[in-house]
Amino acid sequence: MTQLSVNVNKIAVLRNSRGGNEPSVEHAARTCIEAGAQGITVHPRPDQRHIRPQDVLELADLCHSKVEYNIEGNPFAPPRGAYPGLLELVRATRPAQVTLVPDGDAQLTSDHGFSLPGDIVKLRPLVTALRTHAGRVSVFVDAGATDLTGLVGIGVARIEIYTGPYAEACVSADCSAALDACVRTARAARAAGLLVNAGHDLNQRNLPQLRAVIPDLAEVSIGHALISEALYTGLTPAVHAYLALLRT
């Protein structure tokens, strides 16, 4: 069965917009775990726009022995201010999985994978260091990438297919070409001995079709869609609850 790892970054965005501790990232993660999610994902960034280093530490305590903890991040981003760097966060928390993503401050969200095989040489020492403290290493790759054997040689266990273009195609046009790109990458990964994760803009509408063509997906990471869907479905009972209070 494909595992669901819930990305709680958007909870942190809302909390940070007002200051304080509400909504609680830890409470949100606990709720997802109690609902049956098999993992929790965070993506701390040097600019601390959402998940902060302290969140990473607190969620590690919550997740260990309960669900898989997945920390995403750019391994090339140096420490800055209160951000100690990805390696240090992984060393302090020992997550089940660390997912390497080549993002920068200028990106609103992750929007591309590593350049392969070109980035293999740069990734090698970082993967070696991270494997000492994490259960496994996964690498974010573009849909359509097929030259993946070098990842196995440096100790990578999984890839995560960047599904943003697929999700966008599902909204605006025929998504068959974008879906085929995901399939090609999944097949190449399996042939190389890698397990396959997927993530970015997956939702209840486009996920079934992706799983139909890649039935052996190991894990999907879903955050933005899940949080926004929960907002809409939860608004009615919340409004009803406040109306009931005001009627008493």
List, by residue number, the catalytic residues: 43, 72, 200
Number of other residues whose CB lies within 10 A of the CB of residue 148: 22
Number of other residues whose CB lies within 10 A of the CB of residue 240: 10
d(CA 166, CA 181): 9
- Write the CB contacts of 46 (distance below 8 Å, at least 6 apart in sequence): 77, 78, 79, 80, 81, 83, 105
d(CA 2, CA 18): 35
Amino acid letter, residue 153 = G
Long-range contacts of residues 232-239, Cβ cutoff 8 Å, at least 24 apart:
none
Closest C-alpha to 174, from 165, 185, 183, 184: 165
SS3 state at 92: helix
